[in-house]
Amino acid sequence: MYTLPCVAPGPMQSPPPPTSSVAQQPFQTPPPPAMGQPQMPPGPQSPHMSQQMSPQMSPPQSPPASMPMAGPPLAGPLMVGSQMAGPPMGGPPMGGPPMAGMGRPFPGPPPPGPGGFQQPSPGAAGPLGYPQQAGNSFGGQMAGPQPGMPGAFPGAPASLAGPPQKKLDPDSIPSITQVIEDDQLKKGGQVFSTNIRGQVPPLVTTDFTAQDQGNASPRFMRCTTYSLPCTADLAKQCQVPLASIIKPFASLPKDETPLYVVNHGETGPIRCNRCKAYMCPYMQFIDGGRRYQCGFCNCVSEVPVFYFQHLDHMGRRVDFYERPELSLGSYEFAATLDYCKNNKLPNPPAYIFMIDVSYNNIKSGLVKLICDELKTLLEKLPREEGAESSAIKVGFVTYNKVLHFYNVKSALAQPQMMVVSDTAEMFVPLLDGFLVNYQDSRAVIYNLLDQIPDMFADTNESETVFAPVIQAGVEAFKAAECNGKLFIFHSSMPTAEAPGKLKNRDDKKLVNTEKEKTLFQPQKGVYEQLSKDCVAQGCCVDLFLFPSQYMDMATMADVPSHTGGSVYKYNNFQVETDGEHFLRDLRKDVQKSIGFDAIMRVRTSTGFRATDFFGAIHMNNTTDIEMAAVDCDKAVTVEFKHDDTLSEETGALIQCALLYTTISGQRRLRIHNLSLHCSSQLSELYTRCETDSLINFFAKSGDCSFTFKWTRIHPVSLSHTYGHLLALKADCYTTLILPDAMKVFPVYMNSLMKTAPLVGSTELSTDDRAHQRLSVMAMGVEDTQLLLYPRLIPLHTLDVNSEALPAPVRCSEERLTDSGMFLLENGHSMFLWLGQAIPPDLIQSIFNLPSLAHLQGHMPALPELDNPLSKKVRSIINGLLDKRPNSMKLQIVRQRDKPEMLFRQFLVEDKGLHGSASYMDFLCYVHREIRQLLT
């Protein structure tokens, strides 16, 4: 807990107490089935639903029936924390109207009251009160105005400069590691049931089990706030962006039920006649079950004859337990021909491997490494559950200044090469034999992969093409009438005479000027058209880059960033040190769960709508999100704006519908539904904020605008925003207590400003900055959280007999110890830091060396030693590598060695290497902003 003083002249005024907070809104539910009676017999319309759904249908959880009320205002400091210095004045539970339009009941005993989702009181999300506080701040007294920290922010107003008044205690300011640990202790290992409207989920770092009871799991959808302001004016006043981060293909743990598939045959999914929302738990059946009212637009539609079912005495369909679309937040529909291009069922997708065989890649051994790996990796292509083999077809292309296509038809004894040298008019020289089933053509493919490194062993060709390579993939998919993915392995800027030829436009003199943004804007023309062609054909591009110098990442990565693809980058690649790092990425990329030729639409109930979209996406209009492919790691961040007043009674509804093609060629609709609370009280809006999601939004929306004028005013605008989050438009003498998660908002914001895209430094390469920006745009909430606040694990405290990891410590130099060994990872980089006084027996156990001094020069990878500590450390590292979407190259650094500077840039609570502020300085700066807001 920590306090911020906020004293200003003026009469004392009482803050408005929170009102219209609903303590509970229960479900309409019948009595549970008799003992022994199955809760969910399979129905005729649910062929994929052989499992019983009783584990998902536990009785609704009852939220607390009361909430603390605001006490009297005091001329005290502004407090941000989770504990009160004095007890708040209690208040009676406050009732509220039912949630109209939410008539879909859920199983369980019927609690008293009208129907709808349960709704918790604000007390369930976080207490709000105005208790008395001591007069110290950050553990030290700050009398009078607190000046800003000098040199903390580039572009900070000069009026804020001045010396700090007192050294502050780092332990007195909020800690992300403590918040994460507290949430894990409170909610870890528990079941999170989704039957409560507007319920704030556990943190992304918490290990929990999601139980779908009418709202989508937080693994699929998270929101910046779970209580939307009722009006646009209130939204503007509260300064909290209204957004949802949607990860439609998110991976589910083994203990969570996969999505059910609903098949209505040739009729297809049931939809609202007006707004086209799909059948979901928010539809209210009326008129004896013959009609239903849409929860999104209130339109009344007829129930199709085949879908009719009687209602019970509670107004609920008697087949409720048999239909996922009536009782679950996430499910799939089998799509009909109407949802297919040209009213024709799609073919299974294909993967094409396109290898740059120019001089650098042959000399480095990269081409041989790729070919050797593909021999085993192709055995592990994604397949439908229960299928003996993958339906995905494969093809192979090599290229430098020209393209070489390979016929690997199963009937051939040897693969055949066909060369296309006219790269201006790209075409595929063969149809039959280019895209083949791997199992059928395995012998020919093995033969080809053995021959490729030898075929080009003596090449001196260093120039390459790039855009024609992507165009060749598009043309191949067109000819085969299928979707798919291109895996392109490329090492240099395309300088050969061909469409898409690039020239070096890197200019360090533009950094920190108005023209800096031009360095990060892709060159238009060829690549812009390529993106459109790829999306139209369902051609996703994954790019593996191996640069030794500038290669215009902003342009080369433009197509992957608009087709749902990924970009991997390995600077100065060497097989010995980087080979395994690259292969881990390649294996994950080939094997990950994925859907092709996807279109996503986000629908909302009346009163607000989706306005802006951020991700690896393409948009031809303002509503349809197009992705050539979407995989389990990609997320789309959607911002919402008001267009009318929202109702506290009915709440707000969001439905994400994703139309895609499976890896076996089936057309499916994946539906995710979420219901949110609405409130006219600022206090309730803040208590239901989710910091990790807020940071994801800020990271994407900031990077997307990328004006760089924004970069220099960013610290001011961020602290201004944060000041509003704290001040709540309250009067000068109020004290606010924020929920635990919100109190660490400043350290995330400060860390965001230290990321490569937002640091205007000539020491950072333009390509590296562009790469991180493009990576962030497709990240989910858990990925941005880890990127902005890395995990720092003290391995020297490791208990080899315990399954538990040592608790991570704060990302600051002050937490390091000379005799310690720390593992740091942020999802993209991994370091093993060794203190200069580390015990020799620890070095012996890990490296099989007598002392730290023997680690001079090249830092080796961890050897595989047969002792408990070594095995445990390797197990921890491998576990983290398996868990993260990207591979991380382990870098071993010793204290006070030169490479340690790379490690220190990830200690985000300290001052940055390029002049950015420490967490402590930022808090003081924010404090100044808040005081100005409140005066």
For 464-476, the pLDDT digits (tens) are 999 999 999 999 9
Residue that finishes a domain, picked among 689, 715, 744: 689
Query: What is the predicted pLDDT for the residue at 17?
Result: 39
- Same-domain check for residues 378 and 402: yes
| 3 state SS of 80 | strand
Average pLDDT over residues 784-800: 96
pLDDT class for 463, splitting at 50, 70, 90? very high
116 and 99 in contact (C-beta within 8 Å)?
A: yes
**pLDDT mean across residues, the chain:** 81
- Same-domain check for residues 255 and 391: no
Instruction: Name the H helices within 540-677.
Output: 553-556, 558-562, 575-591
- Same-domain check for residues 437 and 554: yes
User: pLDDT for 244-264, tens place per residue?
Assistant: 999 999 999 999 999 999 999
Average pLDDT over residues 579-603: 97
Query: What is the predicted pLDDT for the residue at 162?
Result: 43
* Domain around 619: 213-346+593-689
Query: What is the predicted pLDDT for the residue at 443?
Result: 96
> Cα–Cα distance between 860 and 576 in angstroms, integer?
11
> Cα–Cα distance between 98 and 721 in angstroms, integer?
34
User: pLDDT for 758-774, tens place per residue?
Assistant: 887 778 899 999 999 99
Give percent of the chain with pLDDT exceeding 90. 65
Query: What is the predicted pLDDT for the residue at 34?
Result: 36
Q: Per-residue pLDDT for 18 more than 60? A: no
> Cα–Cα distance between 620 and 167 in angstroms, integer?
54
User: pLDDT for 531-560, tens place per residue?
Assistant: 999 999 999 999 999 999 999 999 999 999
- Same-domain check for residues 583 and 670: no
> Cα–Cα distance between 751 and 757 in angstroms, integer?
12
> Cα–Cα distance between 538 and 563 in angstroms, integer?
8
> Cα–Cα distance between 588 and 569 in angstroms, integer?
15
The residue whose two tokens read 């650098």 is 360
Query: What is the predicted pLDDT for the residue at 739?
Result: 62
Average pLDDT over residues 600-614: 97
> Cα–Cα distance between 823 and 789 in angstroms, integer?
14
334 and 668 in contact (C-beta within 8 Å)?
A: yes
Query: Strand ranges (DSSP E) for 305-452?
Result: 330-334, 350-356, 393-399, 403-407, 416-420, 436-437
- Same-domain check for residues 402 and 284: no
- Same-domain check for residues 580 and 618: no
pLDDT class for 101, splitting at 50, 70, 90? very low
Q: H or E stretch including 847?
A: helix 840-847
Higher pLDDT, 491 or 163: 491
Helix, strand, coil in percent for the chain, rounding step 5: 30, 20, 50
Number of Cβ within 10 Å of residue 169's Cβ equals 12
Instruction: Please name the amino acid found at residue 789.
Output: Y
Query: Is residue 851 in a domain?
Result: yes
Query: Is residue 206 in a domain?
Result: no
- Same-domain check for residues 544 and 665: no
Q: What is the CATH number of the domain that holds 888?
A: 3.40.20.10
Q: Per-residue pLDDT for 58 more than 60? A: no
Closest CA to 356 of 462, 277, 214, 260: 462
| 3 state SS of 473 | helix
Closest CA to 861 of 582, 576, 568, 570: 576
Query: Is residue 313 in a domain?
Result: yes
Average pLDDT over residues 716-726: 50
Query: Is residue 629 in a domain?
Result: yes
User: pLDDT for 423-459, tens place per residue?
Assistant: 999 999 998 999 999 999 999 999 999 999 999 999 9
- Same-domain check for residues 323 and 459: no
Residue that finishes a domain, picked among 654, 669, 689: 689
Average pLDDT over residues 863-879: 92
Query: Is residue 750 in a domain?
Result: no
Q: What is the CATH number of the domain that holds 342?
A: 2.60.40.1670
- Same-domain check for residues 677 and 570: no
Query: Is residue 252 in a domain?
Result: yes
**Domain count for the chain:** 3
Average pLDDT over residues 342-351: 94
Residue that finishes a domain, picked among 547, 571, 592: 592
Query: Is residue 322 in a domain?
Result: yes
Query: What is the predicted pLDDT for the residue at 337?
Result: 93
- Same-domain check for residues 585 and 665: no
Give percent of the chain with pLDDT exceeding 70. 77
- pTM of the predicted model as reported, rounded to 2 decimal places: 0.82
- Same-domain check for residues 291 and 413: no
Query: What is the predicted pLDDT for the residue at 41?
Result: 36
- Same-domain check for residues 583 and 605: no
Query: What is the predicted pLDDT for the residue at 915?
Result: 80
Query: Is residue 754 in a domain?
Result: no
Higher pLDDT, 121 or 262: 262
